[in-house]
């Protein structure tokens, strides 16, 4: 079962969300909260697999609440305002429910959660000999496509999809969050350098200011939040003159 935390300051909306979660066989409602502060208190002593949260709340927006979590679980946002969609995906939301929504819309989001949750469990169970260190499969164009890990140059987030760029100029687009992709890849060979980019460390030829360049001459941005980790990696590989 996938454990859930429901958050909404509107009593009727929260009740509907509770009913939808209970109606879905693979979901289990752990708690429901009327505010972000109430949810923080719950999460201090409990963990959940996914948070379903409203964005517009009086004490703290759902977006800010999730940003403040140290190790956030999977997240599905809901709101009556479409303009929050892009920002929600930038912080690795699984899906975005536009109010008012029915059970079929909720179930579609829940199925995405199920897919990501199962993939996450597989990636957490992997060890050095696990096939995902060498290859894995993704769904693209209604078929399963094999991705050879050492052929990946970089990964680019595109809203709720990612594009995997391979050597030779080929690329594969699949429905997945960039966070889940980063969790799947071998950490010693890949690094997230931007909210929208993961790069193969072996492919980096130049690092300057706020960008890196790959062997193919592709320039990728490096954001401030990831720059320190990249700089540390570069420093460890640098031979200093005495």
All domains of the chain, ordered by start, with CATH?
2-125 (3.40.50.2300), 131-236 (2.40.50.1020)
Enter the tokens of residue 43: 């999460």
Taking the C-alpha atoms of residue 127 and residue 191, their distance in angstroms, rounded to an integer, is: 18
Summarised one tens digit per residue, pLDDT across range 7-23 is 999 999 999 999 999 99
High-pLDDT (> 70) share of the chain, %: 90
* Mean pLDDT, rounded, of the chain: 88
Q: What is the pLDDT of residue 37?
A: 93
Q: What is the pLDDT of residue 76?
A: 94
Q: What is the pLDDT of residue 130?
A: 47
Q: What is the pTM of this model?
A: 0.61
Summarised one tens digit per residue, pLDDT across range 108-164 is 999 989 988 887 676 555 544 444 568 888 888 888 889 999 999 999 998 778 999
For the CA atoms of 126, 127, 132, 135, the dihedral, rounded to the nearest 10 degrees, stands at -160
């Amino acid at each position: 079962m996938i454990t859930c935390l429901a958050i909404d300051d509107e009593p009727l909306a929260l009740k509907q969300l509770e009913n939808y979660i209970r109606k879905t066989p693979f979901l289990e409602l752990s708690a429901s909260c009327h505010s972000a502060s109430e949810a923080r208190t719950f999460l201090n002593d409990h963990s959940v697999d996914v948070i379903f949260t409203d964005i517009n709340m009086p004490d703290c927006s759902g977006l800010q609440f999730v940003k403040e979590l140290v190790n956030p679980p999977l997240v599905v946002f809901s709101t009556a305002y479409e303009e929050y969609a892009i920002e929600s995906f930038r912080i690795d939301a699984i899906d975005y429910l536009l109010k008012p929504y029915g059970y079929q819309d909720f179930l579609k989001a829940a199925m995405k959660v199920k897919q990501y949750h199962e993939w996450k469990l597989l990636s957490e169970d992997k060890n050095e000999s696990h096939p995902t260190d060498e290859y894995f499969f993704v769904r693209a164009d209604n078929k399963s496509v094999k991705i050879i890990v050492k052929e990946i140059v970089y990964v680019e987030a595109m809203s709720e999809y990612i594009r995997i760029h391979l050597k030779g100029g080929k690329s594969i687009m699949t429905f997945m969050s960039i966070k889940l992709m980063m969790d799947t890849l071998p950490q010693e060979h890949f690094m997230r350098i931007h909210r929208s980019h993961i790069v193969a460390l072996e492919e980096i030829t130049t690092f300057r200011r706020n960008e890196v360049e790959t062997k193919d001459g592709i320039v990728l941005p490096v954001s401030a939040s990831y720059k320190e980790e990249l700089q540390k990696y570069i420093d460890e590989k640098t031979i200093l003159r005495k």
